[in-house]
Amino acid sequence: MSAAVRKPSELKGIHVLIVILCFFGVTIGVNIGFATMAIRSFPGEDAQSPYQQGLHYNKTLQARRAQAALGWTSSVALAEAHNGVALSITFKDSAGRPVEGLTLSGSLRRPTADKYDVPLHFTAAANGVYRADLPAIERGLWDLRAQASGGKHEFDIDERLVWQPSTQH
């Protein structure tokens, strides 16, 4: 009896083409999948209409120059409170005197997504201090965006804050 000898198959051009097409097909498919997941989880836009916001940039620059000419300063502090967190903003005029009689509004935002925004409702304390009581917030980075107005003056605050509550309970 003779043993059947199997002839080794040859690598042909069609086989190389199929391997290359499969490799690039899988690579492109994975890239499309990852890009789709990334866009769904964070679209990259923080503002609803960034184009319109860009058109109004000259007004923003003008408001910043007027604010600098006003000479006011502000300082921001976060502190643990009875039922959460207290945010306080202190205003002083160019001579260092407290600025009283302001109306403040704003929000505390996470830099990564606007779904964590906390609206702020301020009350005047004393000596130019305005306070907003918040629920407990997560530790980490937060952006404060607040506007103070008093008479014909306006003052914008855009400040990054780090919240690190004490670990003792």
Residue 76 within any structural domain of the chain: yes
Residue 110 within any structural domain of the chain: yes
Q: How many domains does the chain have?
A: 1
Residue 113 within any structural domain of the chain: yes
Query: pLDDT tens digits, residue range 102-125?
Result: 999 999 998 887 778 889 999 998
Note down the domain range covering 136: 72-163
For residues 155 and 31, which has the higher predicted lDDT (pLDDT)? 31
Average pLDDT over residues 87-105: 92
Residue 140 within any structural domain of the chain: yes
Residue 31 within any structural domain of the chain: no
Query: Can you tell me the distance from the alpha carbon of 45 to that of 42, in angstroms, rounded to the nearest whole number?
Result: 8
Tokens for 34? 């990852």
Indicate which CATH number applies to the domain containing 141: 2.60.40.3340
Residue 45 has pLDDT above 80, yes or no: no
In terms of DSSP bridges, do strands 103-109 and 84-92 run parallel, antiparallel, or are they unpaired?
unpaired
Q: Return the pLDDT at 108.
A: 92
Q: Return the pLDDT at 107.
A: 92
Q: How many CA atoms lie within 13 A of 11 on its CB side?
A: 4
Query: Can you tell me the distance from the alpha carbon of 51 to that of 102, in angstroms, rounded to the nearest whole number?
Result: 32
Query: pLDDT tens digits, residue range 121-137?
Result: 999 988 899 999 988 88
Residue 51 within any structural domain of the chain: no
Residue 100 within any structural domain of the chain: yes
- The edge-to-edge listing of strands for the beta sheet with 129-134 is 73-81, 84-92, 129-134, 118-124, 103-109, 140-150, 153-163
Q: Return the pLDDT at 51.
A: 80
Burial label, 163 (beta-carbon count in 10 A; 0-12, 13-18, 19+): middle
Residue 88 within any structural domain of the chain: yes
Query: Can you tell me the distance from the alpha carbon of 124 to that of 120, in angstroms, rounded to the nearest whole number?
Result: 13
